[in-house]
Amino acid sequence: MATRLEHANLIVRNIDSTILFLQTAFPRFRIRHDSGEVPGGRWVHFGCEDSYIALEQATREPTEPWQPYSGRPGLNHLGYAVDDVAALRTRMLEAGYQESTIPNHHRHRRRVYFYDKEGNDWEFVQYLSAEPADRNDYAIQE
């Protein structure tokens, strides 16, 4: 069996806001399960048939707000491969989401990054080659 990421589990302040962000990015994603209000807090599995994001309702605030790429341990971003990064970028901008980096170019991929309403950073990459050597080329491109 091939190894793949089946799901990630994130604790968020606002599950519905995070779902709206993800629905904008991935229109085919759906709520696979919503626990509703249960002891310990609400949780939702949101995704497709093969993978999902588990969202848990935060029950307390951190002592310091998280900032990606700050050098502290934690999650900088989650990256998703998509078929059409330009269309995704248009949807995200039209919905009012803020880009966290300018679009960057490589001959074998296009990437964009967006913040959700809680400040979490998300990467979206479109690969332009089916060849693993091309997809995994890290040479700087202008």
Q: Are 116 and 21 in contact (CB under 8 A)?
A: yes
- Beta-bridge partner residues of 47: 30, 52
Per-residue model confidence as pLDDT tens digits over 116-139: 999 899 999 999 989 888 888 887
One domain for residues 17 and 49: yes
Per-residue model confidence as pLDDT tens digits over 43-84: 999 999 999 999 999 988 888 877 888 888 888 889 999 999
CA neighbor of 116 nearest in space, from 6, 51, 24: 24
- Total number of domains constituting the chain: 2
Q: Is 68 a domain residue?
A: no
**pTM score, whole prediction:** 0.88
State the residue range of the domain holding 16. 1-60
One domain for residues 30 and 83: no
Q: Is 69 a domain residue?
A: no
What residues contact residue 106 under an 8 Å CB cut-off, 6+ apart?
A: 137, 141
One domain for residues 89 and 127: yes
One domain for residues 56 and 117: no
